[in-house]
Chain A
Amino acid sequence: MSSEGAIFDLDYRRYEGARTGRTKIRWAIVRDGVRKVLGLRRKARRKILPWGLIVLAVIPAIAFVGFRVLTEGLGADELLEDLIPGHADYFGFTFQLTFLFVALSAPELLIPDRVSNVLTVYASRPLTLADYLIARVGSLLLVVMAFTLLPQLVIYLGGAVLSGDIIGHVTGNLDLLWKIPAGALAVFATQAGVAFIISAYARRRGVAAGVYIAFSIISGGVAFGLSEAVNRWFAVIDLQAHAVVLIGEIFNEPGFRDDTSMGQADLSPWVSLVAVVTIAVLAAGLLYRRYRKLM
């Protein structure tokens, strides 16, 4: 071993390699957004709420499936046959959790960047405002899809295992492969637009989440009241109802609609679809307009 040491001053090294394009840059923003929402590479307390909600969404599915697998062949199969909820029913169960998840996530994606002036850094890099906004919306879409799909996957795989014929279960339920993501997309499309718009103006994450939750609850109540007392078309302002109606339609469960203000007002599911698309387009326009002044 040499007894002589050497000190190397690495200094500044220019990067001479190839540069990535805007697609990779967008993906970097999406990845950053996912980390923000899930509290990854952040302090432990930032993980509590998102992961707590994820656990709450997944644990019942695991419990139902686990219990059925463990009790399989113990003589109570007929009695427990319907223990595992259907995919549509489980959407109904996770719906409120997803609502809370979106209420917490959308502010996390937009407010710190704006309030801490990180937008200046984005504005100085080779990306457009649309790149930034699309990537931020993409982050939420990815996380919400994962949030809603994870328990559905548990139920799907549980059903496959319990059927004793995994391939037969998969081929016999091919429609679920589009219905489950479509249901998750319906939930996202209904909730994300308004959550993003509120987050684009609020300065505090807690306030934005609170305003979104209050808005959703109040709009539901107002929709019920006004659609009965004044005009049935007021039911359209019940945002949460649209997701329930669309999930019911996707899974051929028309009964879902009956308990909503849309059902009470006897409005077609097509109205819900148009309302959701309209909200999404309006939200995208408003978001872009708001951020054009900032970036």
Chain B
Amino acid sequence: MSNAIITTAGLNMSFGDVQALRDVDLEVPAGRIGLVGANGAGKSTLIKILLGMLQPSSGVSEVYGTSAQRKPLTVRSRVGYMPEGDCFPLDQTAADFVSYTAELGGLPASESRQRASEVLTLVGLAEERFRNLGEFSTGMKQRAKLAQAIVHSPELVLLDEPASGLDPDGREDMLALINRLGEFGMSVVFSSHVLGDIERTCDWVVMLNEGRLLRNEPLASIRASNAIRVVLLDDPTPAVRVLESRGARVAVTDRTLDVEFETGDPFVAIRDVLVETGLGLRSLGSKQTTLEDVYLAEEEYGL
């Protein structure tokens, strides 16, 4: 991939006996990238390796063509990071802290204060920016963490579980903010174990399980499915028998059939079967594959 912003090859990372990453080969383009996996899948480890905060046991990783292991400072000057846990001095105001982190990111002191104010307004903390961070709620802390991650104008932002601990409204707001980052010309790596959040915000998915790479492809291609979902009013057994006799693969759940044909128009074939068996139809349409379907299938069969 010529336009890859993140590349890894043969990446392995172990902590004692625990193998956090196993032979991860990645090429990820610019955009909004979802890093999906259960807790302990290796998402945070991968992010820390990309920042040069951790040295992999073996393998290489590059961000914008720069080795994160050999030139971590160059990488970090182009990347912002929102850690999963708290990362605040509790006795400092949000404005002071975000301004300070802007300076740590290489912005002049005079510019930092102005930008901190702008970014805190952007994340919805304009009113609260002169309050101490120790007085912030979980949602406000998440916003402030996002502010410190983007205040120095990084080209890529690594967000580690940015929506964790948020109530539904807070989650919505955070996902909306993440969507906006793309509009500002930033690429985003958004790590989450909530697959729905990834589906709503990302256009590329990197799926990890127990340190192994399961998928690395556009969300659209993951969601694409040839299956047709048919929901019947009656016992589906006769229809299943006929469909299978005509070469279809059928998965049955109660009165719901997921039907896949290798060739031909599946809608026409299903119409013919329904006419032939005389069964009543409740609904018919393309099956929407969710990330959850893919993840569960990969977990069950992929390893």
Residues of A within 8 A of B (CB): 10-22, 24-25, 28-29, 32, 41-43, 46, 112-113, 116-118, 120-128, 295
In the complex, the answer to whether B74 meets A116 with C-beta atoms within 8 Å is: no
Complex: how many Å from CA A21 to CA B104? Answer: 10
B96: interface (CB < 8 Å): yes
Q: Is the CB of A116 within 8 A of B86?
A: yes
Interchain Cβ contacts under 8 Å between A and B, 6 examples: A12-B184, A14-B153, A28-B104, A28-B109, A118-B87, A120-B85
A127 to B109, CA, bound (A): 16
B118–A15 touching, CB < 8 Å: no
Contact in complex: A116, B88 (CB < 8 Å): yes
Nearest Cβ on chain B to A81's Cβ, whole angstroms: 48
* Residues of A with C-beta under 8 A to B80: 124
In the bound complex, do residue A32 and residue B100 qualify as a contact, i.e. CB atoms below 8 Å apart? yes
Report the separation of the CA atoms of residues A123 and B105 in the bound assembly, to the nearest whole angstrom: 11
| Known pairs A10-B118, A124-B81, A126-B76; A116 contacts B106 (CB<8 A) | no
Of A41, A118, A120, which contacts B96 at CB under 8 A?
A41
A24-B103, A43-B91, A116-B86 are known contacts; what are 17 more A-B pairs with Cβ within 8 Å?
A: A12-B122, A15-B153, A17-B111, A20-B108, A21-B106, A43-B132, A46-B91, A112-B90, A113-B89, A116-B88, A116-B89, A116-B90, A120-B83, A120-B87, A125-B76, A126-B74, A126-B106
Contacting residues, chain A, for B61 (C-beta < 8 A): none
Q: A12-B119, A127-B73 are in contact. Are A112 and B83 (CB under 8 A)?
A: no
Interface centre among A22, A29, A117, A295 (most CB of B within 10 A): A117
Q: Which residues of B contact A126 (CB under 8 A)?
A: 73-74, 76-77, 105-106
Contact B93 A125 (CB under 8 A): no
A122 near B89: Cβ-Cβ < 8 Å:
no
Q: Which of B189-230 contact A (CB under 8 A)?
A: none
Q: Is B152 in contact with chain A by the CB < 8 A criterion?
A: yes
Contact residue among B53, B89, B106, B119 (Cβ-Cβ distance under 8 Å from A118): B89
Question: Bound state CA distance, A24 and B101, in angstroms?
Answer: 13
CA A14 – CA B183 in complex, angstroms? 12
Which residues of B (46-86) have their CB < 8 Å from a CB of A?
51, 53, 73-74, 76-77, 79-81, 83, 85-86
Complex: A128 Cα to B109 Cα, angstroms: 20
Question: Which listed residue, A19, A32, A123, touches B106 by the CB 8 Å rule?
Answer: A19
Minimum CB distance partner of B109 in chain A = A28
How far in angstroms is the closest Cβ of chain A from B180? 8
| A128 vs B111: C-alpha distance when bound (angstroms) | 23
With A28-B103, A123-B53, A126-B73: A112-B109 Cβ-Cβ less than 8 Å: no
Complex Cα distance, B53 from A121, in Å, reads 11
Q: How far is the CB of B128 from chain A (nearest CB, A)?
A: 16
Q: Please measure, in the bound complex, the distance between the C-alpha atom of A116 and the C-alpha atom of B144, giving whole angstroms.
A: 15
Q: Does B185 contact A (CB under 8 A)?
A: yes
Give the most central of A13, A21, A25, A125: most B CB within 10 Å. Answer: A125
A to B contact number (C-beta, < 8 Å): 104
Residue B148, interface by CB 8 Å: yes
CB-based contact A15/B122 at 8 Å:
no
Nearest to A22 among chain B residues (CB) is: B73
Residue of B nearest to A121 (CB): B87
Q: Which 5 A-B pairs have the closest CB atoms?
A: A19-B106, A124-B81, A28-B103, A15-B153, A125-B104
**Is A15's CB under 8 angstroms from B111's CB?**
yes
B103–A116 touching, CB < 8 Å: no
Q: Which residues of A contact B252 (CB under 8 A)?
A: none
Q: In the bound complex, what is the Cα–Cα distance between A121 and B84 (angstroms)?
A: 11
* Complex interface: chain A residues within 8 A of B121 (CB): 10
B248 to chain A, nearest CB (A): 51
CA distance A168 to B122 in the complex (A): 61
* A43 to B109 CA separation, bound complex (whole angstroms): 23
- CB atoms of B101 and A121 under 8 A apart: yes
Instruction: Identify which of B93, B103, B153 contacts A41 (C-beta below 8 A).
Output: B93
Q: Could you tell me if A117 and B86 are in contact, using CB atoms closer than 8 angstroms?
A: yes
| Beta-carbon nearest neighbor of A13 in chain B | B118
Cβ of A132 to closest chain B Cβ, rounded Å = 10
A122, B86: Cα distance in complex, Å? 13
A124 to B148, CA, bound (A): 11
Report the bound CA distance from A128 to B108 in whole Å. 19
CB of A125 within 8 A of CB of B83, answer no
Contacts of B86 in A (CB 8 A): 116-117
B-chain residues with CB within 8 Å of residue A14 when the two chains form the complex: 153, 184-185
Q: Please state if A121 and B148 are interface contacts (CB–CB under 8 Å).
A: yes
Taking CB as reference atom, which chain A residue is nearest B148?
A121
Contacts of A25 in B (CB 8 A): 103-104, 106
CA of A291 to CA of B92 in the docked complex: distance in angstroms? Answer: 23
Q: Find the residue from A41, A120, A295 having the highest chain B CB count within 10 A.
A: A120
- Across the interface, do A20 and B148 meet the contact criterion of CB distance under 8 Å? no
Cβ 8 A contact of A112, one of B91, B103, B111: B91
Q: Which residues of A sit under 8 angstroms from B150, Cβ to Cβ?
A: 12
